């Protein structure tokens, strides 16, 4: 099997060289760009399996590059934010915009490698191409959701949450588990973030008596997708 390629968008050259060295020593192939424009251009010519993005760049913001990759370029590989921006609002914005994980600088070698490995396992696992539940259908390849054949617009995080719930039908999912699986973090975010997104999933996908299923809230524990 050929080595996985990781693209790094980082304007601080010493930081980029440090991370690239860690990755190359771990067996990855690496390319690095210091501006968003150059990074997108490079990806057009040489696709990467995974990406690491900084937020604050000389020509743009990493959050804009992330949106471009997910919405315009339809990039489906794992994307990890590595940035000094550390507020809960920043983390939520990054993950809601399509990042699969979020690390706050200064980076630590072992943690970065573990996060990348976990992201690749989750993205390349034995995921069904389509998950169906009554009139609801989730196209995991193209990240599109449908209800009664009509497309429903979900954010990347909403889609990941719906996929996680559908794939674990009948299983009790704790808020901490969902934070880790969907947002890529341990219980560092307020669990109300999960509740808010779950409420939107119920509403947008019209999950309830009309489809024969419900997402039941288990007091003090989490959620479970159940047949009615």
Q: pTM (2 decimals)?
A: 0.62
pLDDT score recorded for residue 203: 94
Q: Are 152 and 145 in contact (CB under 8 A)?
A: yes
CATH 3.90.1150.10 is the classification of domain 5-124: no
**Residue extents of the structural domains in the chain:** 5-124, 130-227
Between 26 and 8, residue with greater pLDDT: 8
Q: 70 vs 47, 73, 94, 97, 156, CA distance in Å? A: 14, 6, 12, 8, 8
pLDDT in tens, 24-72: 988 889 999 999 999 999 998 888 999 999 999 999 999 999 999 998 8
pLDDT in tens, 107-133: 999 889 888 888 887 776 444 567 788
CA 15 and chain centroid, separation: 23
| Max avg pLDDT among 19-33, 111-125, 129-143, 165-179 | 19-33
pLDDT score recorded for residue 142: 79
Residue 170 has pLDDT above 90, yes or no: no
pLDDT in tens, 64-98: 999 999 988 888 889 999 999 988 899 989 998 88
Residue 7 has pLDDT above 80, yes or no: yes
* Proportion of the chain above pLDDT 90, given as a percent: 43
Rg of the chain over all Cα atoms, to the nearest angstrom: 18
The C-alpha angle with vertex 84 and arms to 79 and 85, in degrees rounded to 5, equals 80
Q: Domain 130-227 falls in which CATH fold?
A: Arc Repressor Mutant, subunit A (1.10.10)
Residue 147 has pLDDT above 80, yes or no: yes
Tokens of 160: 């990941």
Between 103 and 210, residue with greater pLDDT: 103
Q: How many CB atoms lie within 10 A of CB 159?
A: 21
Q: What is the mean pLDDT of residues 138-151?
A: 87
pLDDT in tens, 214-226: 899 988 788 988 8
Q: What is the mean pLDDT of residues 128-143?
A: 79
């Amino acid at each position: 099997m050929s080595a996985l390629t990781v693209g790094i968008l980082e304007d601080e050259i010493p930081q980029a060289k440090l991370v690239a060295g860690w990755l190359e020593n771990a067996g990855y192939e690496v390319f690095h760009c210091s501006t968003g424009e150059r990074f997108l251009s490079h990806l057009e010519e040489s696709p990467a399996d995974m990406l690491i993005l900084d937020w604050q760049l000389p020509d743009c913001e990493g959050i804009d590059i992330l949106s471009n990759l997910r919405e315009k370029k339809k990039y489906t590989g794992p994307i990890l934010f590595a940035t000094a921006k550390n507020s809960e609002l920043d983390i939520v914005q990054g993950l809601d915009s399509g990042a699969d994980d979020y690390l706050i600088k200064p980076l630590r070698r072992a943690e970065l490698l573990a996060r990348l490995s976990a992201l690749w396992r989750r993205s390349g696992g034995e995921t069904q191409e389509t998950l169906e539940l009554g009139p609801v259908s989730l196209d995991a390849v193209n990240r599109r959701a449908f209800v009664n054949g009509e497309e429903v617009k979900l954010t990347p995080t909403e889609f990941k949450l719906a996929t996680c719930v559908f794939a674990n039908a009948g299983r009790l999912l704790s808020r901490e588990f969902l934070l880790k699986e969907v947002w890529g973090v341990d219980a560092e975010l307020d669990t109300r973030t999960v509740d808010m997104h779950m409420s939107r999933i119920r509403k947008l996908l019209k999950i309830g008596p009309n489809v024969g299923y419900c997402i039941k809230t288990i007091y003090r524990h989490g959620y479970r997708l159940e047949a009615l």
